[in-house]
Amino acid sequence: GQQVMQIPQYQHVQEGEDFTTYCNSSTTLSNIQWYKQRPGGHPVFLIQLVKSGEVKKQKRLTFQFGEAKKNSSLHITATQTTDVGTYFCAGTDTGANSKLTFGKGITLSVRP
């Protein structure tokens, strides 16, 4: 079945550093979504990418969908302590199945 992988599971950065994480799928995706979960909270939708090579920005966050629609990246410029949390990518397989499969997430900690 479809697998969405995020490696590593944890990353620690110094405040002000840039941060990039990647998401890889075993199958071609019709779209990919990114969510953020703060400690003790629930996942909150950040963005959806649909087109091959698509790039979207939200303030300091930049999201990209790979040309082959099998991978995605999240880049955070000049991290802040408010960026702390777990970032999940989630993909929908091509085909009629609308199931959203989540990666295991990457937990980001930021040293002030």
Partner 1 sequence: KAGVTQTPRYLIKTRGQQVTLSCSPISGHRSVSWYQQTPGQGLQFLFEYFSETQRNKGNFPGRFSGRQFSNSRSEMNVSTLELGDSALYLCASRRPARGLPREGYTFGSGTRLTVV
Q: Which residues bind partner 1 (CB under 8 A)?
A: 1, 30-31, 33, 35, 41-48, 88, 90, 92, 96-105
Bond before 43 cis per omega within 30 degrees: no
Closer residue to partner 1 (CB): 18 or 32: 32
Torsion of CA 89, 8, 4, 26, to 10 degrees: 140
Residue with tokens 């002000």: 16
Closer residue to partner 1 (CB): 76 or 90: 90
Closer residue to partner 1 (CB): 16 or 95: 95
